[in-house]
Amino acid sequence: MKSSAMRDLMALTERPEVISLAGGWPDTSTFPPDSYAALMSSVASRSCARALQYGPTEGLAVVKRCVADVMRREGMEIDVDEVLVTTGGQQVIDLVCKTLLDPGDVVVCEAPTYPGAVPTFCAYEADVVQVTMDRDGMRTGELEATLEELERAGRRPKFIYTVPTFHNPAGVTMSLERRRELVRIASERELLVLEDNPYGLLRYEGSPLPTLRSLDDEFVIYASTFSKILSPGVRLGWAVAPGPVLEKMNIGKQSSDLCSSSISQYFVSAYFDSGPWEDYVRSLIEIYRRRRDVMLDALADQFPREAEWTHPQGGLFIWATLPDYIDTTDLLARALDEQVAFVPGRAAFLDGRGGSSMRLNFSGVGEDQIREGVQRLGEVVREQVALYGTLTGEHAVLTPAQLEVASREAEAEAHAQPEREPEQLGNVLRLPRKRA
């Protein structure tokens, strides 16, 4: 399960009949083919031989300047010498593990954590300790208690991994107070923090919060990517790290793939040269905000009362939690029969938790497909709820029609109450739903 969840959904790439709410896919269909051709034509005339050639391991200088631009837009001033261009943001996680971990070393991360980090932690045989979250992100009180407990056992984490903004998969954002707490804890204990921030610029409401890197540049390794503001197909991300760590990551990258695609790097550079890159991000924000709203409405309409889900202010994901008796790994097989996919919650844990949760993506498919996808999903969920009721008698057996009436009531209720996040994220500690 751990390693195959993300890969299986990658394999769905070429099956157009499946409505995939699984991937972390941006919508690349709005990028104009004419611009693609024109940018490539400009690379051809100016840098053809270099675009076809190896480049330096740390990335082309022209791309590092694009990175500095993007980070300035998120309130960070950096030196291009602090940048390592990587093969997607995923490679930052891989290189940090490759550089810092020996088998059995402790890594601390959120519960749930990014499903794509799980196989990486496993590949390097990390001993992963997951700290629960609520609507304000990782619980720093629990983090501190966890670190103290580890210290008593003579153990010291090699790093703390976090997605503070528009969390993947949880859809929540770490509060400013928690951010300050986290960098204080890291600084006091001289612990490295890997801040993974692929979605920071995709905010649909509310005000930006400072990144951890802007609060501390001594212990924070910063990771981001061009995947969500331009294209994941370029497979270009980056790390900004303290000197000695960056140096080791550079050596690690050299041994992993020598350098990242020059073709991709010159494309990105030409794109940033061609005009204000923020315009395209703004157009994506408009599209994704509507899709998020469509998905939230569809969930209210289609999911049974027993379900709960988060209300993300940005990013790409909603985290939904079903009644405990539903196993979303089993449910996925049933959902795939109905041509709809999601990431089962267990993929975001290393200890078997998350069994009744799921990650839903709202960026990768259009509004009609989101409605259709959530409806299909709602049907299989309600089917399970009804089946459970039949078998145990513990729940009233509602027909889909009856459930739809109930869901509509819930929707009306939800519209009156925009904040739909549970007190705590499902499968950690279940509290009564506010709207129940």
Q: Return the residues of window 97-156 that contact a copy of itself according to CB under 8 A.
A: 98, 102-103, 116, 119-120, 122-123
Residues 60-79 that bind a copy of itself (CB under 8 A): 60-61
User: By CB under 8 A, is residue 315 in contact with a copy of itself?
Assistant: no
> Residues binding a copy of itself: what is the number (CB under 8 A)?
73
The answer to whether 95 and 237 have CB atoms below 8 angstroms apart is no
In the complex, what is the shortest distance from the CB of residue 243 to a copy of itself, in angstroms, rounded to a whole number? 15
List 1, 52, 391, 397, residue binding a copy of itself (CB under 8 A):
52
Greatest extent of the chain over all pairs of C-alpha atoms, in Å: 72
In the complex, what is the shortest distance from the CB of residue 308 to a copy of itself, in angstroms, rounded to a whole number? 29
Output the six-digit token pair for 88. Answer: 């997607």
The SS3 of residue 72 is: helix
Q: Strands across the sheet with 317-321, in order?
A: 308-309, 317-321, 357-361, 343-344
Residues 377-406 that bind a copy of itself (CB under 8 A): none
Could you write out the three-class secondary structure of 74-113?
Answer: CCCCCCHHHEEEECHHHHHHHHHHHHHCCCCCEEEEEECC
User: By CB under 8 A, is residue 350 in contact with a copy of itself?
Assistant: no
User: By CB under 8 A, is residue 225 in contact with a copy of itself?
Assistant: no
In the complex, what is the shortest distance from the CB of residue 57 to a copy of itself, in angstroms, rounded to a whole number? 5
Give CA–CA dist 124/119, Å, rounded: 9
User: By CB under 8 A, is residue 33 in contact with a copy of itself?
Assistant: yes
Which x/- pattern over 180-219 shows residues binding a copy of itself (rule: CB under 8 A)? ----------------------------------------
- Judged by CB under 8 A, which stretch of 10-18, 215-223, 326-334, 421-429 contacts a copy of itself? 10-18
Cα 319–Cα 323–Cα 329 angle in degrees, nearest 5:
65
Output the six-digit token pair for 283. Answer: 């157009």
Give CA–CA dist 89/120, Å, rounded: 12
User: By CB under 8 A, is residue 235 in contact with a copy of itself?
Assistant: yes
Residues 248-287 that bind a copy of itself (CB under 8 A): 250-252, 254-264, 267
Give CA–CA dist 371/410, Å, rounded: 17
List 21, 51, 215, 240, residue binding a copy of itself (CB under 8 A):
51
List 36, 204, 325, 388, residue binding a copy of itself (CB under 8 A):
36
C-alpha distances in Å from residue 423, one per residue of 107, 156, 181, 298 = 26, 30, 20, 22
Residues 13-32 that bind a copy of itself (CB under 8 A): 13-14, 23, 25-26, 28-29, 31-32
User: By CB under 8 A, is residue 6 in contact with a copy of itself?
Assistant: yes
List 169, 200, 232, 355, residue binding a copy of itself (CB under 8 A):
232
Output the six-digit token pair for 367. Answer: 């509004």
The answer to whether 350 and 118 have CB atoms below 8 angstroms apart is yes
